[in-house]
Structure 1
Amino acid sequence: MDVEVSVNNKPPIQPKNNEDKVQSPWVEALQSFMKNKIALVGTGIVVFFILLAIFAPFIAPQGINEQNMANRLQAPSAEHWFGTDDFGRDIFSRVIFGARISLWVGFLAVMGSAVVGSLLGIIAGYYGRWIDTIISRIFDIMLAFPSILLAIAIVAVLGPSLQNALIAIAVINIPNFGRLIRSKVLSVKQEEYIVAAKAVGMKNNRILFRHVLPNSMAPIIVQGTLAIGTAIIEAAALGFLGLGAEAPNPEWGKMLSDARVLLIQAPWTMIFPGIAIMLTVLGFNLMGDGLRDALDPRMKN
């Protein structure tokens, strides 16, 4: 007669809560980001300036080009929170509308450099050989020049304007994205799923856009966020040198340039545009650092 021996009569252990379930890496990164208080402060600053730019026509108390010579160089007061400039224009209104220009330049320039740089970096890292050599040498040549000097040279050739400043800022940031994505692709293409895709005869274009690019998005997002702050500074620098936005556009760098002769007589004409630049760049840097900590596995405990 067969005898059945029960080794363990306990029922199988069930997960007690959702913590035992596997989460998406993006969900896990979002949760990690939400726990970073400094990153949330930076995000709050960025959102504040974005909302300020969107609702500028409803927030600004006066027109950006509304001149009143009787009120020129008025100190900050209840009527003019940030004072007035040498044409009697309300600085608070001009700073608010200046957020539109600076954010517009920052987002579009970084978007353009991210797209072009990422494509070049993916091609160089995936195909290698002479293609990688040519693209990498182009990046090295561009990085050999100080970024602001290269931007000045590009604007000098194209002509001073806000659009040409945007193009220049996009061009000088291409190598940063290209080299970053190239290094990521060099490691991703050695993964087993990429080798398996090649083994079953999947075309290179499909491998690049369905496997390589999605798995390289994390560094692009982090670099893009940090690059927006840098692009805003570069746009302000070009505007300060008279190579960016032209009068009477209320671009922050141009406002600083116009007010530099009034630093002693009316310091508020430079202080408030400078604070706007500082806070916006600080917000993007804090948010970018938080995204890096959340998306980089090496930064996790």
Structure 2
Amino acid sequence: MSRRVAVVVASVAVVLGAAAMVWWWTSTADRASAPRDIAQVYLTALEQGDIDTIQEVRRGSLSPLAIDAFAGADHIVDARIDDVVVDGDEGAVTASAELAGERRPLQFAVIGDSDGWKVAGDDLGELSASTTPGAAVTMGDAVVEADTVVDVLPAVYPVVAVPEEVLSGRTDAAITPQQTVHVVVETELAAGAVDAVQRAVDAWAEACTVSAQSVPASCGFDVPWPADFTSIASIDYRIDAYPSVADLGVDGVLVASDGVLVATVRGQAREGDEPRTYRTDDWMMRGAITFDGAQLVIRAF
């Protein structure tokens, strides 16, 4: 080998060696900074309510309830990374942020593999709520059955009794990673509760007065047609006044009174063949107010 060729080969070796050192240093530096970078991206997404980015940088999927709850939550403020301790392909992140006006710790793990670094999935807390009366609440924008545990992202969640047109009650829950919180929503009747129940009573009355061949049960009225007919073909109803809800006791007895109802009966009359009308001036409907999830339910007596 000539001296010139040897020099060229040596130069190539030096260049390749330098390139390898640069690649090794760069990849090592990137690997060292990547856990902190992904943690920062995650925290920024929490601050901004960016659920798409949050799901991209996390391992594991969020439940639909968690996504809806986060959409209506108050997000963290002024998130700061205090430390990231990396051991191989695992990193422990120590951070903090303001939730509900108080700085709180946020601790979670990051994991690296051939696809890069991601938040490990231990970033969620557990939130549940109970309410009496009522059978459900909203957590953020999610409707959740009472006492159901939902894994949620770090945020402040408004927990509200439902249905809101009948019930009034709210509390806020600040959730951090690995935290378990159960809240009790103190509930009372909402300002428009009587109107909401009256609408339900009106719907009940409408259902009771559909044209039929018999008198419905549990509707608070009777049509004494047997005295005038041997059989009937139809009963048609006209509501002149709906039973009125004067007072209300939640999860108690409902009484709606002073309704006026006219029933027209056609059939085989004992005398003549003309239809007969029957009028009730004291139509009263009685039942119990209950709740099925976020729905008001009146159970007829």
When the two structures are superposed, what TM-score results if normalisation uses the length of structure 2? 0.22
Of Structure 1 and Structure 2, the greater helix share is in 1
User: Which protein has greater RCO, CA pairs closer than 8 Å, 6+ apart?
Assistant: 1
Of Structure 1 and Structure 2, the greater strand share is in 2
